[in-house]
Copies of this chain bind each other. A is one copy, B any other.
């Protein structure tokens, strides 16, 4: 079995020990490992994902493109995280966002129907799903709340704290839209912080 698949199965087992090795073994039969180069698109907006993916190594930016062609980053996918748009993937609808590799990336892919089948075949898979989605919900909730009652400066500081391993790999121009400000504003924030050190 490929190393990447082992890593993925280990993640599942860590989250939900109730799943036994036999079930994981069966689940793994449909997994494939794929490598993407820097700047490759994992998903292009408008596309419906026929497969889901778990990022083993690399970094992916998830962005939205408006009518004028302006891009805004909504998420970054770090190592050991799922790389799909939950809402559209679960409903089998086109993704409103594009996924592009900022670095060479290795992904474990699985067909969407295989996930649904697993929910039916392996009762404890529902638990794994629940736990993962609960994690995601918490993250999402925190991020939303940070937009509602924190300043851009605080969000910037939080980002550095929360993703120290990403901070040096993402440029200012990529980061600013994730924080919800223009590049100029992020520059001002950094200047202000630098002065106050």
Q: Distance (Å) between the CB of A133 and the closest chain B CB? A: 4
Say yes or no for A136: interface residue by CB 8 A criterion. yes
Q: Is the CB of B148 within 8 A of A86?
A: no
Query: Measuring CB to CB, which residues of chain A are less than 8 angstroms from any residue of chain B?
Result: 64, 66, 72, 74, 85-87, 90, 96, 119, 123-124, 126-127, 129-130, 133-134, 136-138, 140-145, 147-149, 177-178, 180
Q: Give the complex CA separation of A147 and B96 in angstroms.
A: 15
The distance in angstroms between the C-alpha atoms of A72 and B126, with both chains bound, is: 35
| Prevailing SS type, chain A contact patch | helix
Query: When A86-B137, A137-B140, A138-B87 are in contact, do A72 and B148 touch as well, CB less than 8 Å?
Result: yes
18 contacts between A and B (CB under 8 A): A64-B149, A66-B149, A74-B148, A74-B149, A86-B141, A87-B141, A87-B142, A119-B127, A123-B123, A123-B126, A124-B126, A126-B127, A126-B130, A127-B130, A133-B133, A136-B137, A144-B144, A148-B177
CA distance A126 to B86 in the complex (A): 18
CA distance A127 to B141 in the complex (A): 21
- The smallest beta-carbon distance between A82 and chain B, in angstroms, is 12
